[in-house]
Structure 1
Amino acid sequence: MDPTDPAGAPPVPGELGAPDDVAHPKRIKTFVRRAGRTTTGQAKAFETLGPRFLQPYTGERLDLEATFGRTAPTVLEIGFGMGEATAHIANVKPDTDFLCCEVHEPGVGALLKRIGEQGQTNIRIVQHDAVDVLDHMLADDSLAGVHIFFPDPWHKKRHSKRRLIQPPLVRKLALHLKAGGYIHCATDWQPYARQMLEVLSAETLLANTATGADGYAAKPDYRPLTKFENRGIKLGHGVWDLVFTRRAAEAA
Structure 2
Amino acid sequence: MPHKSFDPTTFRDKPVSFVRRSGRMTPSQVRAWDEHRAKYVLDIPHGAAATSVADGVTGDPEQIFGRRAPLVVEIGSGQGHAILHAAETRRDTDFLAIEVFRAGLARTMIRAELAALDNLRLAEVNAPELLEKYLPEGSVDEIWVFFPDPWKKERHKKRRLVSADFARIAHRALRPGGVLRLATDWEDYAEQMRDVLDAAPGFERDFAGEWSDRFDGRVLTAFEQKGAEKGREIRDLAYRRA
Q: What TM-score comes out, normalization by structure 2 length?
A: 0.88
Asked whether the 8 Å contact 1:30–1:131 carries over to 2, the reply is: no
Runs of 5+ in structure 2 lacking a partner? 46-53
Q: 2:24 aligns with which of 22, 31, 37?
A: 37
Q: Does 1:246 align with 2:241?
A: yes
Counterpart of 1:231? 226
Asked whether the 8 Å contact 2:132–2:172 carries over to 1, the reply is: no
Counterpart of 1:64? 61
Q: Does 1:219 align with 2:206?
A: no
What letter is aligned with 1:206?
Answer: F
Counterpart of 2:87? 90
Q: Distance in 1 between matches of 2:84 and 2:120?
A: 8
Q: Distance in 1 between matches of 2:192 and 2:42?
A: 32
Asked whether the 8 Å contact 1:209–1:243 carries over to 2, the reply is: yes
Asked whether the 8 Å contact 2:206–2:239 carries over to 1, the reply is: yes
227-236 or 43-52, which deviates more:
227-236
Q: CA deviation at 1:138?
A: 0.9
| RMSD (Å) for aligned C-alpha atoms | 1.8
Asked whether the 8 Å contact 1:30–1:130 carries over to 2, the reply is: no
Counterpart of 1:15? 8
Secondary structure of the residue that 1:146 maps to in structure 2?
A: strand
Q: CA deviation at 1:189?
A: 0.4
96-105 or 181-190, which deviates more:
96-105
Runs of 5+ in structure 1 lacking a partner? 1-11, 19-23, 248-252
Q: Does 1:137 align with 2:134?
A: yes
Identity %: 35
Counterpart of 1:4? none
Deviations 1:89-127 (A, max 9, x none): 222222211112111111111111111122111111111
Counterpart of 2:104? 107
Q: Does 1:54 align with 2:62?
A: no
Counterpart of 1:151? 148
